Amino acid sequence: MLDVTSPNMEYKLGIDFGNIFRNSSAYIRNMKMVEEMSKRQSNAEDIHFTSKYAKGFWSQCKSCLWKQHRSYWKNPEHNVVRFIITITVSVLFGIVFFDIGSKIRMEQDVFNILGAMYGSALFIGFANASVVQPIVERERTVFYRERAAGMYSSMPYAIAQVAIEIPYILIQAILFSVIVYPMIGFPFVAAKFFWFMFFLLLSFIYFVLFGMMTVALTPNQQIAALLSFFLFIIWNMFSGFFVPRKMIPIWWRWYYWADPAAWTVYGLMVSQLGDNENRLTAAGTSGETVKEFLKGYLGLQESYLPLIVSLHIAVIVLFLFVFGFSIKYLNFQKR
């Protein structure tokens, strides 16, 4: 068709297809139709939609969650590597702290367990926060484009971005607990095991949310990584491992209670040793029990366990809120 109606063919035939069409009845009929449809009808109303988006809130959430699921499923570099790191670190922790939980006779044994709890709480958490940041930054670029096209609003995206991480975090917590808990030598008490896994799960969640939040608050992943590194140093210092709470200067002690890592170490320690009535026999002690040593020297009390759980839930909600708020109101697009 293009060959037949080309300018070369018009020149050979000595005709102008444009003039032929403009003088045809089809052209006159089409122009009358365009003119008629361009006039506003007397009883016509403006187009009105009941909502900004074609689907409701929960439909948007399901669509965003499906999209995130497909994205994560096709990203083994993020998920498989994360599980390999979790298993490797779990085995290393189990070897380093092998069977220390079955023989608590001296102060040093308590400190060894404190080190195990500190490492369990922070190591995987720091790794999770760092690994999730490039993923969130990449997804945010897609989100800007799809939100501008009116595909979905900000909150369904934020909810889906967080929700898709939960199953993977749960698997991490189970893998770490199943490997580390028996190798450390803690007693096989169901309640204690589930407390151990519960606090690890909460810590992994708030670390991932923290990584997401820093990306949402900053223009790019590099700045988010620097901000995270700075705050991780502070969390590390005030976690209660290097300096017990009672030895922190009173004017800095408030930050211990504002440190999520300290809460996790606190919860892990008191859930495992808070009811231990074995007496310590190390030189320099007064024959106090493990429970008394935790309270007197480290400032850890089993009665605070509900408060520690509440603080974990509160910080998770806070990080989730800040992430959603930042995604909705902060725009770092450079166009």
Q: What is the pLDDT of residues 160-190, one digit of tens each?
A: 999 999 999 999 999 999 999 999 988 888 9
pLDDT of residue 335: 63
Rounded CA separation 186/70 (Å): 39
CB 128 within 8 A of CB 82: yes
Q: How many angstroms separate the Cα of 329 from the Cα of each of 210, 221, 268, 317?
A: 18, 18, 37, 18
Q: What is the pLDDT of residues 237-263, one digit of tens each?
A: 998 888 888 888 888 888 889 999 999
Same domain, yes or no: 116 and 72: yes
Can you give the pLDDT at residue 292? 86
**Residue 40: domain span:** 1-48
Spatial contact of 57 and 152, defined as CB atoms under 8 Å apart? no
- Asked if residue 232 belongs to a domain, the reply is yes
The reported pLDDT for the residue numbered 208 is 95
Same domain, 8 and 100: no
> Which of the listed residues 48, 67, 85 is the one where a domain comes to its end?
48
Residue 85 domain-assigned?
A: yes
Give the residue ranges of the chain where pLDDT is below 50. none
At 129-162, the pLDDT tens digits run 999 999 999 999 889 888 888 888 899 999 999 9
The number of folded domains in the chain is: 2
> Is there a domain that residue 223 lies in?
yes
Residues 74 and 43 occupy one common structural domain = no
91 within domain boundaries: yes
pLDDT at 2: 67
- Whether 335 is covered by a domain: the verdict is no
Same structural domain for residues 19 and 62?
A: no
Q: Are residues 42 and 62 in the same domain?
A: no
